[in-house]
Amino acid sequence: MPYETIRLDVDGGVAVLTIDRPEVRNAINRQMVDEMHAALGRLEADPTVHALILTSSGGKAFMSGADIAELRDRRSADALEGINANLFARLERFPRPTVAAIVGWCLGGGCELALCCDYRIVGTSSRFGQPEVGLGIMAAAGATRRLPALIGLAAARRLLMTGALIDAQEALALGLVDRVVADEETLTSARAWLEPILAQAPAAVQGTKRALQAWVHGASETELLALDNEIQSELFEHPDKFARMDAFLAKRAKKKE
């Protein structure tokens, strides 16, 4: 399908999804939600895609949050539909590694979107916050779960209940982001961050992500043990396991010669 609010490019096994509404600081609206669902569906079905980078256009905002003009008219039934929350949960479940490359404002739904990625590489101009309470609503697309899991309950309370804004360095100190770089280096740094991950066995990386997510979402010890065994049983039969172990053994034998 043609996209109007995003761009999607795939190169060398890495997909780059660019949020593209710079005229409104990349605010998310229903059209963007629908287009991102379509893009994720395409990528999920493509076995040649091994990682996803989420970035934005314009240089001033990763995403400034929801489109307030549209959000103003949403009612109770819209909240129960979980329009943004379902999209963000789908991104979190995306089976391959994900990195958000962030420049500028990352607020409200934008911050919640970034929390769904496995990693966050950010420019020095980046600013983060959950200002929803100042608009009479709450951060209801996952931040009340994902933020405390990432930075701890006390820090999450401050951001979620005061609407405070923090800069890139404070976000790094809190553990909200993984690396701070110059704004113009965010996308290349995100690609570099992925390099050691992409060098590993793709199925093993995906299985590890699946197990970690189960722990994050509160699976019991019994469930986690069963899942680890299930994933490992699949990997034990995977051709990549035999090829990589054979290569390791051959290399070791050669060293002994």
Q: What is the pLDDT of residues 92-126, one digit of tens each?
A: 999 999 999 999 999 999 999 999 999 999 999 99
Give the separation between CA 225 and CA 229, rounded to whole angstroms.
Answer: 6
Side-chain half-sphere CA neighbours of 38 within 13 A: 14
Mean pLDDT of the chain: 95
3-state class (DSSP) for residue 74: coil
pTM greater than the 0.75 cutoff? yes
User: DSSP secondary-structure letter at 66?
Assistant: B
pLDDT at 68 over 90: no
Which of 4, 23, 81, 112 is an active site residue? 112
Contact 142, 117 (CB under 8 A): no
Query: How confident is the model at residue 6, as a pLDDT?
Result: 98
Give 62's strand partners: none
pLDDT at 248: 95
pLDDT on residue 257: 76
27-31, 67-71, 240-244, 251-255: segment of lowest average pLDDT: 67-71
Does 132 qualify as catalytic in the annotation? yes
129 or 80, greater pLDDT: 129
* Measured CA distances, 174 to 119, 139, 147, 151 (Å): 14, 19, 11, 6
DSSP annotation of 95 reads S
pLDDT bucket at 27, cuts 50 / 70 / 90 = very high
* pLDDT of the residue at 154: 97
112 carries an active-site annotation: yes
Please count the other Cβ atoms lying within 10 Å of the Cβ belonging to residue 87.
21
Vertex 42: Cα angle to 40 and 47 (nearest 5): 105
d(CA 179, CA 128): 14
What's the pLDDT band for 67 if we cut at 50, 70, 90? confident
Tens digits of residue pLDDT in 212-238: 999 988 899 999 999 999 999 999 999
Q: Does residue 129 have a pLDDT over 80?
A: yes
**Position with higher pLDDT, 188 vs 65:** 188
Kindly tell me if the per-residue pLDDT of 40 is higher than 80.
yes
Distance CA(34)–CA(240), nearest Å, equals 35
Percent of the chain with pLDDT over 90: 88
Give the model's pLDDT for residue 174.
98
Q: Is the pLDDT of residue 203 over 90?
A: yes
Q: Which residue has the higher pLDDT, 135 or 40?
A: 40
Q: How confident is the model at residue 65 (pLDDT cuts 50, 70, 90)?
A: confident
Say how far apart CA 168 and CA 183 lie, in whole Å. 11
Environment class of 204 (CB within 10 Å of its CB; exposed 0-12, middle 13-18, buried 19+): middle
The catalytically annotated residue of 132, 223, 234, 237 is 132
pLDDT(9) > 80 = yes
